[in-house]
Amino acid sequence: MTSNEEINNLHIKINYFFKEKCPVHIKLKTGYFYNGLILEVAENEFIILNERLNGETPVFYSEIEKIDRYREEE
């Protein structure tokens, strides 16, 4: 997958999770991760995430390696 395809897929996923109010798991390129709900989307730059432990946290698109629906352990 090309870089442009990856960026486009990231935007699609972020917008879907935001509109559907789905909790997300975000893995950063640094290896850190966040779990929470997307509160705001600033097109092509960053999101504001209501992170479970840290509260409102800005996350820049350039930091995101992967974003998926958050699944709680059963």
**Tens digit of pLDDT for each residue in 3-29?**
788 888 899 999 999 999 999 999 999
Q: How many domains does the chain have?
A: 1
Output the pTM of the full model.
0.87
CB 49 within 8 Å of CB 35:
no
Ordered alpha helix ranges (H), the chain? 3-20
Query: What pLDDT shows up at residue 43?
Result: 76
Q: Provide the residue range defining the domain that includes 20.
A: 3-69
Q: What is the CATH number of the domain that holds 28?
A: 2.30.30.100
Nearest Cα to Cα of residue 72 among 52, 49, 50: 52
